[in-house]
Amino acid sequence: MKFLDQARVFIQSGNGGSGAVAFRREKYIEFGGPAGGNGGRGGDVWIECVDGLNTLIDYRFMQHYKAGVGIGGMGKDRTGPNGDDIVLRAPVGTQVFEEDNETRVADLTKVGQKIQLLTGGNGGFGNAHFKSPSNQAPRHANPGQLGAEKWIWLRLKLIADAGLVGLPNAGKSTFLSAVSAANPKIADYPFTTLHPNLGVVRIADRDFVLADIPGLIEGAHEGAGIGDRFLGHVERCVVNVHLIDGTAENVAESYTTIRGELEAYGNGLADKQEITVLNKIDALSEEDVEEKLASLRPLVSGKLMAASAASQKGVEQVLFAIIHELDAKKKREKQDALPEEDKKWSP
């Protein structure tokens, strides 16, 4: 299945049905009178978060979605049927934006979440609705209200606990395949990864979701390389794991390049908790590892670690560091949820 994380879709709610103008006179109904029924209501447009989807690829082949129209009223005071609703199915993490691609309408973060995007038009009143003592035979009815229509953008941001960032060939895909059952493409040339990959990591009695995004290069925020469009997939992550290729000549420059791109992208990515990992240490001597770590220490404000995804050396320590950050985030959220008087108390 191809990966698609952004799609432009046209949606239209149904028109309401028109009211009917009708009269009824039968043998055992004294005087008869107006008997035009109301029109049916137009269908609504909904979007629902469902399980089993991880891409918006369906919206590449079908961009127009229209709800059913309401049926007009009929004689004998019969109301027309309502139009059928239409439901757009989307994966967890989908955001809905207006046509300007900036105004957010909805954010689907849980399976089963369902949000109404457009409301169908109301059905028109039939002439029976207008009957009164002073107007006992009305000969007019209302037309149904028109539905609404617009273009929207669907943007998928994968929901993961931790995200892997770094330059191309930093070993992100190898790291993901080493710690999870994911099978990302791995090769010895840049930009092997062309779309984000997710993997479930299980260690001890814990598990978390790890995301691998395509590599960044200098100028990615201006469109260089693959650009920074995939950074949206790590916006929701609690912690970023910054992998640095230990075999690079200047690891400090590698680090500052990625940090610069995260700051240029904005949206709080540069302020997230970060674990910096010097990767591929299996190809280095112990002296080279210490030398490269020493050049990184003045730059790195968070945790600095060394590991090798290929040989598994140090990988377990990195995973436990991720779990520590996840637990710290839960503890902060739990503390923030307490009343003010309870926050000040400590045993």
Q: What integer pLDDT is reported at residue 40 of this predicted model? A: 95
Q: What integer pLDDT is reported at residue 227 of this predicted model? A: 60
Q: What integer pLDDT is reported at residue 1 of this predicted model? A: 46
- Pair 100, 40: CB distance under 8 Å: no
Average pLDDT of 217-236?
70
Q: Are residues 136 and 168 in the same domain?
A: no
Average pLDDT of 291-310?
89
Q: Which of 107, 124, 156 is the last residue of a domain?
A: 156
Please compute Rg for the chain using Cα positions: 29
Domain count, the chain: 2
Sign of CA dihedral 321, 327, 330, 336: negative
Q: Are residues 73 and 125 in the same domain?
A: yes
Q: Are residues 168 and 264 in the same domain?
A: yes
Per-residue confidence at 265, pLDDT binned at 50, 70, 90?
Answer: confident
Mean predicted lDDT score pLDDT of the chain? 86
Which H or E run includes 212?
Answer: strand 206-212
Average pLDDT of 217-234?
69
Give the contacts of 125 (CB within 8 A, at least 6 positions apart).
19, 38, 141, 142
Q: Are residues 89 and 199 in the same domain?
A: no
Q: Which of 118, 135, 156 is the last residue of a domain?
A: 156
The domain spanning residue 18 has which CATH number?
A: 2.70.210.12
298 DSSP 8-state letter: T
* pLDDT tens digits, 191-214: 666 677 778 888 888 888 888 888
Residue 256: pLDDT over 80: yes
The domain spanning residue 204 has which CATH number?
A: 3.40.50.300
- Beta strands per DSSP E along 69-195: 86-90, 94-97, 104-107, 114-118, 149-156, 162-165
Q: Are residues 181 and 141 in the same domain?
A: no
Distance in angstroms (rounded) separating the CA atoms of residues 127 and 131? 7
Give residue 322's domain range: 162-336
Q: What integer pLDDT is reported at residue 187 of this predicted model? A: 61
Range from 100-104, 146-150, 215-219, 249-253 carrying the lowest mean pLDDT: 215-219
* pLDDT tens digits, 314-344: 889 999 999 998 888 888 877 776 676 655 5
Q: Are residues 180 and 212 in the same domain?
A: yes
Q: Which of 121, 156, 191 is the last residue of a domain?
A: 156
In a domain, 28, yes or no: yes
